[in-house]
Structure 1
Amino acid sequence: MPSAPGLVVRPITGPDEVDLFNTLPYLLNDEITGDLDAGRRRPEWLWVALRGDRVTARAAWWSRPGDARPSTMDIFDAPDPGDGRELLRAALPAVSGDAVPPHYIRFLPPDWKGDERARRETESCLALLGETGARLFVERLRWEWRPGTPLRAPSGRLEFRPPRDAGELIDLMELVLDGTLDAYSRDDLTRMTPREAAEQQFEEELARYAGPRDWWRIATRPGDGDPVGFVVPAHNGYHAIIAYLGVVPAHRGHGYIDDVLAAGTRVLADQDAPRIRAATDVTNTPMAAAFARAGYETFQHRLDLTWSS
Structure 2
Amino acid sequence: MTAAVSQHPLGLTVRPITGPDEVELFNQLPYAFNHEIADDLRTGRRRPEWLWVALHEGRTVARAGWWCRLGDERPFLLDVLDCAEGHEAAGRRLLGTALGAVVAEGAKPPQYVRLVPGDWRADPAVRPGIDALIALVEGQGATPFVERLRFQWNPGTPLAAPDPRLAFRAVAGREELVGLMTEVLDGTLDAHSLRDLMTMTPRQAAEEQYQDEMEKYSTPRDWWRVAVLPDGEPVGFVIAAKNSYHAIIAYIGIRRAHRGHGYIDALLAEGTRILATAGVPRIRATTDLGNTPMAAAFARAGYVNVEREIHYDWT
Q: Shorter chain as normaliser: what TM range?
A: over 0.9
Poorly superposed stretches of 4+, deviation over 6 Å: none
Letter of the structure 2 residue corresponding to residue 21 of structure 1: F
Match of 2:44 in 1: 39
Query: Which of these residues, 127, 139, 151, is aligned with residue 135 of structure 2?
Result: 127
Map of 1:245-284 to 2, 5 A cutoff? 245-284=252-291
Map of 1:121-270 to 2, 5 A cutoff? 121-222=129-230, 224-270=231-277
Deviation at 1:4, TM superposition (A): 2.1
Query: Which of these residues, 4, 22, 41, is aligned with residue 8 of structure 2?
Result: 4
- List per-residue Cα deviations over 1:182-235 (Å, max 9, x = no partner): 00011111111011011111111111123111110011002x100000000011
Deviation at 1:3, TM superposition (A): 4.2
Query: Which of these residues, 101, 105, 109, is aligned with residue 117 of structure 2?
Result: 109
Question: TM-score by structure 2 length?
Answer: 0.96
Query: Which of these residues, 53, 76, 90, is aligned with residue 97 of structure 2?
Result: 90
Deviation at 1:2, TM superposition (A): 2.6
Give me the whole-angstrom Cα distance separating, in 1, the residues matched to 2:98 and 2:110: 13
**Alpha-carbon contact 1:15-1:36 (below 8 Å) kept:** yes
Partner-residue secondary structure (3-state), 1:112: coil
Partner-residue secondary structure (3-state), 2:257: helix
- List per-residue Cα deviations over 1:73-114 (Å, max 9, x = no partner): 100011211000100111002111121111010001112112
Deviation at 1:65, TM superposition (A): 2.1
Match of 1:69 in 2: 74
- List per-residue Cα deviations over 1:88-145 (Å, max 9, x = no partner): 1110021111211110100011121122132101111111110111111000000000
Q: CA RMSD in A?
A: 0.8
Gaps of 5+ in 1: none
Deviation at 1:38, TM superposition (A): 1.2
Question: TM-score by structure 1 length?
Answer: 0.98
Give me the whole-angstrom Cα distance separating, in 2, the residues matched to 1:97 and 1:39: 19
Partner-residue secondary structure (3-state), 1:262: helix
**Alpha-carbon contact 1:218-1:229 (below 8 Å) kept:** yes
Letter of the structure 2 residue corresponding to residue 46 of structure 1: L
Query: Which of these residues, 51, 59, 65, is aligned with residue 56 of structure 2?
Result: 51
Match of 1:18 in 2: 23
Partner-residue secondary structure (3-state), 1:117: coil
Give me the whole-angstrom Cα distance separating, in 2, the residues matched to 1:137 and 1:122: 16
Structure 1 stretch displaced more, 179-188 or 2-11:
2-11
Give me the whole-angstrom Cα distance separating, in 2, the residues matched to 1:219 and 1:66: 32
- Tell me the matched-pair count: 307
- List per-residue Cα deviations over 1:151-173 (Å, max 9, x = no partner): 00102111111111111011111
**Alpha-carbon contact 1:58-1:77 (below 8 Å) kept:** yes
